[in-house]
Amino acid sequence: MIEDKIKELGFELPEPAKPMAAYLPSVQTGNLIFTAGQIPIVNGELKYKGKVGFILTLEEAQKAAQICVLNCLGVIKNIIGSLENIEQIVKLTVFVNSADNFTLQHLVANGASELLGEIFGDRGKHARSAVGVNELPGDSAVEIEMICRVKD
Amino acid sequence: MIEDKIKELGFELPEPAKPMAAYLPSVQTGNLIFTAGQIPIVNGELKYKGKVGFILTLEEAQKAAQICVLNCLGVIKNIIGSLENIEQIVKLTVFVNSADNFTLQHLVANGASELLGEIFGDRGKHARSAVGVNELPGDSAVEIEMICRVKD
Amino acid sequence: MIEDKIKELGFELPEPAKPMAAYLPSVQTGNLIFTAGQIPIVNGELKYKGKVGFILTLEEAQKAAQICVLNCLGVIKNIIGSLENIEQIVKLTVFVNSADNFTLQHLVANGASELLGEIFGDRGKHARSAVGVNELPGDSAVEIEMICRVKD
């Protein structure tokens, strides 16, 4: 079971964090779910703030990316009831709050991508964009949005 | 009627702004429409330029975000004839031209999200990402792209 | 034939570049293909690095955008076997590694959009967002992701 796997890997599926503003955490259309951009909030607290490559190390940013992915899964579960109903992770977009000259956004994003592989196996393999940005909401270190396909 | 609601709220649905370059304002595939990124152009003039948090206030940026959303709706109408045919706003991505240390992108994006709620009610509730960027085309303050689902 | 057209225009369809990290180059869901963000890699080497408007000129950035598009087509071909099976290019997102005060992201993106028009004609017309970012993986000048619809 997917949720057991998440625990086995030492992680916890969160209760979906409330959106910081006037929108929904995720929306289903046909068999696709689009999540809102998720930031590394745990129990209502933003855990990783500041520019990666200056305030935060690559390793810390990878941990932030893992939390973002868990938050994506949390808001998806909220719609479909069980993560077993995910057929395929389709796409991630990973925005990294980047210090000048920090160019390892792809390695930050690996924190997210590898965790999905460990949790879901082949179903977790996705297309992905990783880009640097100069600022994110609340000074978050990372923001990740996900598209997944669910079973009919 | 949606267009009456837009007027009642004090806004005007634009004639679709011409793309600034070689692409289409929006494309339909199945029952999804993807818009191009819209900037706050009104009657051919870019109304809000410069970095939010430096040249522009949060309130100005929220107004810019509202115009972007109206421009998204304008280019969608251009495809489907009537906004009544929108079944659901699925996703917004809000790019905010951000001054250093400006971290309220989510509040800028609320200008867009709340207007959609006022116009469409539940059908206007969407997933959303808001991110900061260091530059946008023409020094635009905000750029927004939308995905919506239309009736069969 | 599309591949002949690409050659005729003086370009070469690449062997798909290996992702720089733990993800897939593209994923199909229904009749949509989402590519991973592609950077201007040719034969394993990143050809255009640095900030556009400082290290690189607009013209160089447009060439980088063309390579990104060819790489998108390469990874799409890898899934569907032949580019003849592309029914429509639906959406591009073009991220431009932008120097301060460089605001011509839309012209950079034209390098991509116009090439798609030349290759595919009407089938190449797409919705598009172009945004500036302060950093990209490996200091790439441009990163482009594509959504296309394929034949049933």
Please state, in angstroms and rounded to a whole number, the distance separating the CA atoms of residues B99 and B109. 16
Domain B2-150 coded CATH 3.40.50.2000: no
Residue C106, token pair as written in the block: 């839309």
Which of C66, C131, C151 would best serve as a mutation to test chain B binding (most B beta carbons within 10 A)? C131
In angstroms, the CA C11 to CA B128 distance is: 37
Domain boundaries, chain C: 2-150
**C43 at B interface, C-beta within 8 A:** no
B-interface mutation test, from A34, A78, A90, A134, most B Cβ less than 10 A away: A134
Cβ–Cβ of B128/A21 closer than 8 Å? yes
Distance CA A62, CA A57 (A): 9
Give per-residue pLDDT as tens, C109-124.
999 999 999 999 999 9
Of A30, A35, A95, the CB nearest to B127: A35
Interchain CB contact of A102 with C (< 8 Å): yes
Contact B96, B108 (CB under 8 A): yes
Q: Per-residue confidence at B21, pLDDT binned at 50, 70, 90?
A: low
Q: Which residues of chain A have pLDDT under 50?
A: none
Q: Which residue has the tokens 């991630």?
A: A92
Tell me what ipTM this predicted complex has.
Answer: 0.95
Mean pLDDT of B93-97: 98
With tokens 């250093």, the residue in question is B100
Is the whole model's pTM more than 0.95, yes or no?
yes
* In the block, residue with structure tokens 């818009």: B35
Of the two residues C121 and B22, the one the predictor is more confident about is C121
- pLDDT at residue A20 in the model: 62
Residue A26's SS3 state is strand
- Average pLDDT, rounded, for chain B: 95
B121-144 per-position pLDDT tens digit: 999 999 999 999 999 999 999 999
Q: Judge whether A42 is closer than 8 Å to chain C, CB to CB.
A: no
pLDDT of residue C17: 64
Quote the pLDDT of residue B15.
Answer: 81
